[in-house]
């Protein structure tokens, strides 16, 4: 009899554990720590492409999301903001990362293809102008000096052309390619949409890591890309202070100066554009977008960008509720 009672108690205990486990697993992404998530399991593919600047944030989010949702196959690539829009305006991807706003001509293509794209702001970035840590003569530049270095119409080709106290050495330029939103932003706010120098002393690439490697070991090189790529390579790169006017104080990008806007004119928001049709039709896209807004602040800071104020993420969470109505 004792053995029978012991067996019954053991079976009851196992049953209780099973019920508790089932309750726990049904929470999925849940509302743990106040985060809104899915209350049911999701599966299927999510296609993401676009900005190499936004890539580290989205890569972080995809990794953590996929570990919690193994049935979802989320892939993220970095063909540049323009490359992402080429795909998203045709409805080929679900999310299009961008370090600039969508252009009117891109919106028109999306409309012609019956695609509705809506932006979400993920973080702030300070487009960073950098040289090698081996460079011992440049610490800051004015916007006018940046124009001298990068504009095609400028005759300055050597550092001594910018400042006679600097070396009589050729300036080597490393910059994002034309499909990059970072290139577009620099072109707009620094070059005023005039052509940039290209040729044997200029290397263009949509892959920011290529730019990093080119600048690291060359004291005569200069380039620009998102702040996260500088933050990841502080030991081999030097970020320059930028003077927005000859009499202005030089300001370097940092979490504080990027968020408060004092790092001007190179502070900017970072976006992902959601294919609203995909959001309506694919449960996994809905779930991932909610997860993204709930976790973008943490992901941004982990990879070296600046989070939005908390209420800005909540405003966007409230906004996307209307996308399925």
pLDDT 10s digits, 134-183: 999 999 999 999 999 999 999 999 999 999 999 999 999 999 999 999 99
Token pair in block for residue 213: 């490697």
Residue at 17 is within a domain: no
Q: Tens digits of per-residue pLDDT, 38-68?
A: 446 899 999 999 999 999 999 999 999 999 9
Helix (H, G, I), strand (E, B) or coil at 122: strand
Q: Write the CATH number for 142.
A: 3.40.190.10
For residues 25 and 113, the model is more confident at: 113
Distance CA 160, CA 321 (A): 57
Q: Same domain, yes or no, for 89 and 209?
A: no
Mean pLDDT confidence for 210-226:
97
pLDDT exceeds 50 at position 285 = yes
Enter the pTM of the model: 0.81
Residue at 247 is within a domain: yes
Q: Same domain, yes or no, for 132 and 260?
A: yes
Average pLDDT, the chain: 89
Tell me how many degrees the CA angle 127-133-135 measures, rounded to the nearest 5: 100
Residue 295: closest CA among 26, 34, 27, 84: 34
Q: Same domain, yes or no, for 249 and 169?
A: yes
Q: How high is the pLDDT of residue 247?
A: 85
Mean pLDDT confidence for 7-14:
41
Q: How high is the pLDDT of residue 325?
A: 75
Residue 212: closest CA among 306, 307, 304, 74: 304
Residue at 1 is within a domain: no
Q: Same domain, yes or no, for 283 and 247?
A: no
pLDDT exceeds 80 at position 14 = no
Q: How high is the pLDDT of residue 223?
A: 98
Distance CA 40, CA 284 (A): 10
Residue at 244 is within a domain: yes
Q: How high is the pLDDT of residue 324?
A: 86
Distance CA 108, CA 93 (A): 17
Q: Same domain, yes or no, for 70 and 145?
A: no
Which residue among 228, 245, 265 closes a domain?
265
Helix axes 181-189, 81-88, angle to 10 degrees: 120
pLDDT exceeds 90 at position 74 = yes
| Alpha carbon separation from 87 to 54, 55, 99, 234 (Å, rounded) | 16, 16, 16, 34
Q: How high is the pLDDT of residue 31?
A: 40
| Local structure of residue 139 (DSSP, 8 states) | S
Q: Same domain, yes or no, for 138 and 156?
A: yes
For residues 1 and 108, the model is more confident at: 108
Helix axes 283-303, 310-320, angle to 10 degrees: 170
Mean pLDDT confidence for 67-72:
96
Query: Dihedral of the CA atoms 22, 26, 31, 33 (nearest 10)?
Result: 40
Portion of the chain with pLDDT greater than 70, in percent: 88
Tell me how many degrees the CA angle 312-122-100 measures, rounded to the nearest 5: 115
Q: How high is the pLDDT of residue 289?
A: 98
Token pair in block for residue 240: 């320059």
pLDDT exceeds 60 at position 91 = yes
Q: Same domain, yes or no, for 76 and 90?
A: yes
Residue 55: closest CA among 181, 173, 178, 177: 181
Mean pLDDT confidence for 92-103:
97
Q: Same domain, yes or no, for 248 and 278?
A: no
Helix (H, G, I), strand (E, B) or coil at 298: helix
Strand spans (E) along 41-165: 44-50, 72-76, 95-98, 117-126, 128-132, 140-142
Chain centre distance of CA 103: 18
Burial class (CB in 10 A: 0-12, 13-18, 19+), 162: buried
Full domain range(s) for residue 41 = 36-124+269-324
Which residue among 218, 240, 265 closes a domain?
265
Q: Tens digits of per-residue pLDDT, 16-41?
A: 334 334 444 333 344 434 344 444 68
Q: Tens digits of per-residue pLDDT, 228-282?
A: 999 999 999 999 999 998 789 999 999 999 988 899 999 999 999 999 999 999 9
Mean pLDDT confidence for 58-82:
96
Q: Same domain, yes or no, for 89 and 56?
A: yes
Q: How many CB atoms lie within 10 A of CB 68?
A: 13
**Count: domains in the chain:** 2
**Is residue 68 within a helix (H) or strand (E), and if so which, with residue range?**
helix 55-68
């Amino acid at each position: 009899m004792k053995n029978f009672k012991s067996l019954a108690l053991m079976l009851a205990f196992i049953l209780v554990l099973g019920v508790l486990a089932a309750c726990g697993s049904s929470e999925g992404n849940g509302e743990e720590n106040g985060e809104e998530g899915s209350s049911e399991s999701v599966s299927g593919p999510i296609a993401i492409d676009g900005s190499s600047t936004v890539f580290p944030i989205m890569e972080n989010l995809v990794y953590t999301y996929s570990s919690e949702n193994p049935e979802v196959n989320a892939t993220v690539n970095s063909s540049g903001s323009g490359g992402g829009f080429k795909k998203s305006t045709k409805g080929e991807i679900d999310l299009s990362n961008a370090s600039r706003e969508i252009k009117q001509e891109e919106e028109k293509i999306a409309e012609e293809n019956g695609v509705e794209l809506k932006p979400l702001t993920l973080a702030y970035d300070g487009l960073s102008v950098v040289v090698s840590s081996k460079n011992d003569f440049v610490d800051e530049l004015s916007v006018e000096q940046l124009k001298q270095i990068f504009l095609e119409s400028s005759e300055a080709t050597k550092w001594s052309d910018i400042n006679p106290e600097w070396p009589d050495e050729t300036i080597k330029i490393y910059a994002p390619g034309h499909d990059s939103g970072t290139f577009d932003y620099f072109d707009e706010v620094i070059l005023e949409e005039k052509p940039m120098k290209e040729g044997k002393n200029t290397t263009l690439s949509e892959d920011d890591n290529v730019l990093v490697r080119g600048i690291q070991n060359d004291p005569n090189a200069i380039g620009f890309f998102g702040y996260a790529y500088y933050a990841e390579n502080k030991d081999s790169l030097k970020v320059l202070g930028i003077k927005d006017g000859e009499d202005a104080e030089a300001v370097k990008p940092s979490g504080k100066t990027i968020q408060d806007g004092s790092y001007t004119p190179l502070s900017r928001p970072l976006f992902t554009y959601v294919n609203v049709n995909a959001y309506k039709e694919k449960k996994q896209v809905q779930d991932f977008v909610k997860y993204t807004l709930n976790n973008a602040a943490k992901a941004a800071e982990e990879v070296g960008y600046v989070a939005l104020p908390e209420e800005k993420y909540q405003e966007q969470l409230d906004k996307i509720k209307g996308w399925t109505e």
